[in-house]
Structure 1
Amino acid sequence: MPSLEPKRGAGGRRPLSAPRLRAGTPERAGLDPTELAHLADEVRALTAGPRPWAAGAVVVAGRGPVIAVAEAAGWAVRYSSCDPGTGAGVELPPAARVPMTVDTPFDLASLTKLFTSVAAVQQIERGTLGIDARVGAYLPEFTAAAQHDITVRQLLTHTSGLRPELPLYDCPDDTARLALLRAEAPLAEPGTHLYSDLNMLLLQCVLERTTGLTLDVLIEDGITRPLGMTATTFGPCPGAAATEDQRRPWAKADRGMLRGVVHDENAWALGGVAGHASLFSTGHDLAVFCRTLLAGGSYGPARILGPDLVELLLTAPGLGFAVDQPWFMGELSGRGAAGHTGFTGTSLVLDPATDTFLVLLANTVHPRRRPPDSRPRAATATRLARAVRGA
């Protein structure tokens, strides 16, 4: 395991700053312009036709401190509702639709987990949280987690054995929701990989207990404010891309067409601030997040983590981050690329080996959810990988 002592520059001092992102040509970024042109064309094609992969999409990609691609396609709002009989969207008149722009915020869904994970690793760096400490040491009232000796590392690596989710949205109040979480025992033996939203909800509880601060404050103070990520926030976010006409039986709650309020039913039930899914952000802000991690935790004059802690975060199996997953990373996988996807259609990949990053944001659940298809995510990542090789 990498050392938890942050690396320092020449003379034992940390570098004073890391270059900020700037727009530039593919050639300036050391990328093949033909491959990137294909990437942009393919993203536009994803939003075309009567039943597109997504109503709209934004792609931001680059290498080093250069953003070589920043494109928007389709619609932030295309449908008024979903026809329950046909499953098709009821389209708004063209004049009533809202075009997608590169500055459109998106409901990040599970990309929120990356911010919760960074917030946790910041506390590990500061010594206020032990990576191998038992959850029960911080939250003794979480009796099931305490009884099974679930650790902070297991929460971060999805090896606690906890089931993927609980129906917190069906609980009558916060007291009942908290009681359900406290009593939830692992479904699998701790140490077994089982992706679970509950890991990040428990981690949120640990962070809030150990710091005395709520998760939204921790993320704003520790990540978004120092990095200048002014478009990254917990909802409501009125200008965001629309998500779902959320109704039973295809959804878990009856809320109607959603825009600017969190899509995930559990995050909604928890008041819109949840460790697993509740942030909104833009392509540019997420590019800053990627660039910060590729630069060892620094961006401009800000430093949110030391390089060794970033290495710990991104090294397989990853802390919150997925590592080398070809199903959404395409040919960027296999060399230590890290990233995540979100249920609403969001994803990001950063590749330390080539110093590249890719943010693909789409509202694939507009106007309703359907079986996920990550082939377009993998295809765009492959285009970026080939742009590196063809440069």
Structure 2
Amino acid sequence: MFAIDTPQNIGLDPARWQHVLGLVRSWTEADQVPAAGIMILRNGKTTGSHLFGRQTCDADSPPIREDAIFLIASITKPIVGMAALLLVERGEFVLDDRVKNIVPEFGNNGKHGVTIRHLLTHTSGLPDMLPNNTELRTAQAPLSAFVEETCRQPLAFRPGRGVQYQSMGFCMLGEIIRRVTGQSCAEFLQNEIFAPLGMHDTALGAPDDWYAGENPTVNRIAELRIPEAQVGSNWHWNTRYWRQLGAPWGGLLTTPTDLACLAQFLLNRGRGEDEPLLSPATISAATRNQFLAMRDVPELERRSRPWGLGWRLHWPGDSRNFGDFLGPHNYGHWGATGSLLWIDPTWQTAAIMLTTQPQEPRGKYLARFSNAAVASLTAPLGD
């Protein structure tokens, strides 16, 4: 899907690109970031996947594996969103269909008006995390328990009248995909997106066979530095429970190279190696400001904090995660585990940074990487 080439041939200033590599290396050498994998994709070419740091957080850990797999947290969300849009293309539902029409038990406590569009744009009023999130995880609860609890929740505001980042909206999208297709969200993503795009090292939740054999695939997963709130728990990001849960809001495991396959697919306007997987019209809708047509969304959100369908668009005047230099057509997402993906269709460019250092709420190292990466780009072809 993309070729390996020199920085100059793919549209990177060689000296500035070397600065990017040196900057990320310095963070890992200083243990500010235990491990990182970065990749720039331009005009269908890349310099490859560059990995730095250690495979685990231990001081005597071996170096990061060249085939390391990262937990990318909330970058999962727009990918699940694309799976939902694939079902829209197939006529299974429309964005303004109510969630209760597919999941009847959802339609209580003021949620009868919540639509699929609300789930995809963070305008549903659902919570980010459930009030009993910690109790569910401590009990090693299955996804079905998170769905059941989300169905019981009241809303923070009437759907479409506000914006509140909501992981549980994507929990419900995963359940909608399951009920419509008869496949789990993880299975549907594997069959309809990952396999066709050649993303062979990607899974929404590690399957059992990743734990099998003398050299199991799970050994490739880079160990995350656990935030204080998770220390001592039986459900933290490095546990088998969380790695296998397959949370539609944050459970995707992948590599920089696999994520670059997804990015190239988006830059190709929905075309895979052999045939279109999503239409250009779908990609366009997913990556434009949905708030412009949602009359009750507050003006501040409409003007300064836009969302597409699952994708976070560029927020002018906000350095968090994306940095300071992205253009008006950029879109992407970030993850609480220290992960970043952004795409600029105008410059035919995508940037990826996957780390093992949680950086919320500001994405300190992600933003600094993004600024240096953008500064390394030379003018797009034809300019």
Same fold (TM over 0.5): yes
Q: Relative to structure 2, which stretch is displaced further, 39-48 or 280-289?
A: 39-48
Aligned partner of 1:155 among 98, 119, 139: 119
Aligned to 1:224: 194
Change in 2 beyond 3 A, CA 1:252/1:162: farther
Partner of 1:311: 284
How far apart in 1 are the matches of 2:260 and 2:145?
38
- Corresponding residue pairs, total: 343
Measured in 1, the distance between the counterparts of 2:103 and 2:171 equals: 12
Alpha-carbon distance, 1:345 to partner: 1.0
**Alpha-carbon deviation of 1:359?**
0.6
Aligned 8 A contact 1:59 1:70 in 2 = yes
Q: In structure 1, how many angstroms separate the alpha carbons of the residues matched to 2:8 and 2:194?
A: 30
Measured in 2, the distance between the counterparts of 1:377 and 1:32 equals: 20
C-alpha distance in 2, partners of 1:176/1:70? Answer: 38
CA–CA distance in 1 between the matches of 2:157 and 2:15?
47
Off by >3 Å, runs of 4+ in structure 1: 145-148, 171-179, 256-263, 370-373
Question: Which residue pairs with 2:2 in the alignment?
Answer: 21
2:327 aligned residue:
334
**For residues 45-97 of structure 1, what are the alpha-carbon distances to aligned partners after superposition, in whole Å with 9 as ceiling and x for unaligned?**
12122xx3310111011201101353111112132xxxxxxxxxxx3xx3xx1
Q: Counterpart in 1 of 2:299?
A: none
Q: TM-score, normalised by structure 1?
A: 0.81
Aligned letter for 1:306?
S
CA offset digits 1:345-378 (Å, max 9, x no partner): 111111111110111010004xxxx754413212
Q: Which protein has the bigger strand share?
A: 1
RMSD: 2.3
Give SS of 1:327's match. coil
- Structure 2 residue 200 is the aligned partner of structure 1 residue 200: no
Distance 2:308 2:179 in 1: 24
Contact 1:155 1:200 in 2 (8 A): yes
Distance in 2, matches of 1:140 and 1:147, equals 11
CA–CA separation in structure 1 for the residues paired with 2:29 and 2:268:
36
Distance 1:56 1:176 in 2: 33
Provide structure 1 residue ranges, at least 5 long, that are not aligned to the other structure: 1-19, 80-90
Distance 1:196 1:257 in 2: 20
Q: Which residues of structure 2 form unaligned runs of 5+?
A: 211-217, 290-306
Task: Identify the residue that residue 53 of structure 1 maps to in structure 2.
Answer: 32
Secondary structure of 1:113's counterpart equals helix
Structure 2 partner of 1:85? none
In structure 1, C-alpha distance between the alignment counterparts of 2:309 and 2:246, rounded to whole Å: 20
Conservation of the 8 A alpha-carbon contact between 2:230 and 2:236: no
Deviations along 1:87-113, one digit per CA (max 9) or x if unpaired, are xxxx3xx3xx13113421001111111
Q: Which amino acid aligns with 1:280?
A: L
CA contact (8 A) 2:226 2:237 kept: yes
Report SS of the residue matched to 2:113.
coil
Give identity over the alignment, percent: 25
Please tell me whether residue 276 in structure 1 is matched to residue 249 in structure 2. yes
Give the 3 Å change call, closer, same or farther, for CA 48–252 of structure 1 in structure 2. Answer: closer
Give the whole-Å Cα distance in 1 for the aligned partners of 2:102 and 2:25: 48
Q: Is contact 2:109-2:154 (8 Å) kept?
A: yes
Which one-letter code corresponds to 2:195 in the other structure? Answer: R
Distance 1:70 1:332, change over 3 A: farther
Structure 2 residue identity aligned to 1:200 = F
